[in-house]
């Protein structure tokens, strides 16, 4: 099991640790609800060093990314980030990811921890078709084991982080990044966020991780900064309706089914993998859709629970579910037959063989 640069700090701070995507990661520190509300009200720091970082460089970089991703890479400019998906050639999704444009011939892809090897193999295979080489110093390079990442999230996050940066960062636009010094170390600081409460991500080389960590806590502790585990990361992202690979999206779901048509761009000259299939889905519609729902009766929905009509006809399956710390109600996502996807539709979640009332809701939940 892999560790991150910060694992020793998590253990020293009393984290409940568990395996996640092959890494020994902190699940919670003071409790999921407490950590969740800390991020909503103040600021928390997540170790997300398990995420993958892949470089795509050279004169063919943009052409490769236009081929393997659904969003329009040509719309990016230096310092801009794009959320996108990689279609798998069978109508499903290899992964969802972020594309950072450093310059016209240099891009950084940030991918999910559980998919690093799969993504890398897919990118290399498609790159080879264009004559691109993979490895150290080549056009394609997997730097995942060399980079650590901290996500500082919450309404007061940027005020704290600004104190250790050599450039202004508090007014940065959403989905942009800067190359700058953080605690005197070369870093990339981006504004994307997986919590919906504001904040940033800080990428540095592993050897600089401890220096950044110590500097962040020196300025953050007086401001009430807290450690946050992966448990609260999941409840935070679900309240905001953000997709998680292996839940809302996977190798069997298309971006159109998942409500990700907004990052599936059918622009001229962009011959991306599965484009004809997705154009057909957009034109003709799909048989199932991803919905958000809220429990009308007491109950906590969980991944894998069946979704039914109020009369008991099975119409789908829960993909994510939790008790919302903000709403104090059960919320979740799931795929249902398209006729039952309209907001306001009454449904039921099958919990321990009982039909528990719920209602289709518009996301985000908060």
- Percentage of the chain lying above the pLDDT 70 cut: 100
Average pLDDT over residues 151-168: 98
Instruction: Name which CATH class applies to 52-142.
Output: alpha beta
Average pLDDT over residues 160-182: 98
Average pLDDT over residues 132-144: 98
**What gap in Å lies between CA 364 and CA 240, rounded to an integer?**
4
Where is 204: in which H helix or E strand? strand 199-205
Mean pLDDT of the chain: 98
Average pLDDT over residues 31-42: 98
**What gap in Å lies between CA 11 and CA 24, rounded to an integer?**
10
Structure tokens at 243: 């997709």
Domain chopping of the chain, boundaries: 7-49+146-239, 52-142, 287-361
Q: According to the model, what pLDDT value does residue 171 have?
A: 97
Q: What is the CATH number of domain 287-361?
A: 2.40.30.110
| Residue labelled with tokens 């279609």 | 87
Alpha helical stretches, state H, the chain: 7-12, 32-41, 61-68, 116-129, 157-162, 209-220, 230-239, 275-284
> Could you write out the DSSP letters of every residue in 96-157?
EEEEEEEETTEEEEEE-GGGHHHHHHHHHHHHHHTT--BSTTSSEEE-TTTEEEEEEESTTH
Backbone angles phi, psi at 53, to 5 degrees: -130, 120
Burial 15-35 (b: 16+ CB within 10 A, else e): bebeebbebbbbbbbbebbeb
Output the pTM of the full model: 0.97
Q: According to the model, what pLDDT value does residue 209 have?
A: 98
Q: According to the model, what pLDDT value does residue 242 have?
A: 98
How many Cβ atoms are within 10 Å of 305's Cβ, its own excluded? 21
Label residue 204 by pLDDT band (50, 70, 90).
very high
Label residue 18 by pLDDT band (50, 70, 90).
very high
CA distances from 121 to 100, 116, 126, 274 (A): 20, 9, 9, 18
CATH topology of domain 7-49+146-239: Gyrase A; domain 2 (3.30.1360)
Label residue 161 by pLDDT band (50, 70, 90).
very high
How is the beta sheet containing 185-190 ordered, strand by strand? 177-182, 185-190, 199-205, 147-153, 44-47, 226-227
pLDDT tens digits for range 231-265 = 999 999 999 999 999 999 999 999 999 999 999 99
**What gap in Å lies between CA 207 and CA 136, rounded to an integer?**
18
**What gap in Å lies between CA 241 and CA 320, rounded to an integer?**
10
> What sign has the CA pseudo-torsion 121, 123, 128, 131?
negative
pLDDT tens digits for range 50-94 = 999 999 999 999 999 999 999 999 999 999 999 999 999 999 999
**What gap in Å lies between CA 102 and CA 4, rounded to an integer?**
25
Average pLDDT over residues 310-324: 98
**What gap in Å lies between CA 308 and CA 290, rounded to an integer?**
14
Label residue 217 by pLDDT band (50, 70, 90).
very high
CA dihedral angle for residue 112, residue 300, residue 358, residue 284, rounded to 10 degrees:
20
């Amino acid at each position: 099991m892999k560790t991150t640069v910060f694992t020793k700090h998590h253990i020293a701070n009393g984290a409940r640790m568990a395996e996640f995507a092959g890494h020994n990661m902190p699940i919670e520190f003071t409790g999921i609800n407490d950590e969740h509300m800390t991020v909503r009200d103040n600021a928390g720091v997540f170790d997300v060093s398990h995420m993958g970082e892949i470089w795509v460089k050279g004169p063919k970089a943009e052409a490769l990314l236009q081929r393997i991703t659904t969003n329009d890479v040509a719309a990016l400019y230096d310092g801009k980030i794009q959320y996108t998906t990689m279609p798998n050639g069978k109508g499903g999704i290899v992964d969802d990811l972020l594309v950072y444009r450093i310059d016209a011939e240099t891009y950084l892809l940030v991918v999910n921890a559980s998919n690093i090897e799969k993504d890398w193999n897919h990118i290399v295979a498609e790159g080879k078709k264009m004559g691109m080489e993979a490895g150290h110093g080549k056009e394609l390079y997997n730097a995942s084991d060399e980079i650590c990442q901290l996500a500082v999230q919450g309404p007061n996050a940027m005020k704290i982080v600004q104190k250790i940066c050599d450039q202004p960062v508090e007014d940065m636009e959403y989905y942009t990044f800067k190359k700058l010094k953080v605690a005197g170390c070369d870093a990339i600081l981006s504004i994307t966020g997986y919590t919906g409460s504001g904040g940033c991500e800080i990428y540095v080389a592993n050897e600089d991780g401890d220096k950044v960590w110590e500097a962040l806590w020196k300025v953050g502790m007086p401001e009430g900064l807290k450690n946050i585990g992966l448990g609260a990361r999941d409840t935070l992202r679900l309240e905001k309706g953000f997709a998680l690979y292996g839940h809302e999206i996977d190798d069997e779901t298309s971006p159109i089914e998942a409500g990700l048509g907004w990052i599936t761009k059918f622009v001229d000259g962009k011959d991306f993998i599965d484009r004809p299939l997705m154009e057909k889905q957009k034109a003709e519609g799909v048989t199932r859709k991803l919905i958000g729902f809220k429990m009308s009766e007491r109950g906590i929905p969980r991944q894998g629970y069946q979704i039914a009509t109020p009369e008991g006809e099975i119409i789908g399956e829960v993909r994510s579910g939790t008790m919302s710390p903000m709403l104090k109600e059960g919320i979740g996502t799931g795929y249902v037959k398209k006729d039952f996807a309209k907001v306001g539709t009454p449904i039921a979640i099958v919990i321990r063989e009982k039909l528990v009332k719920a209602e289709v809701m518009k996301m985000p939940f908060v």
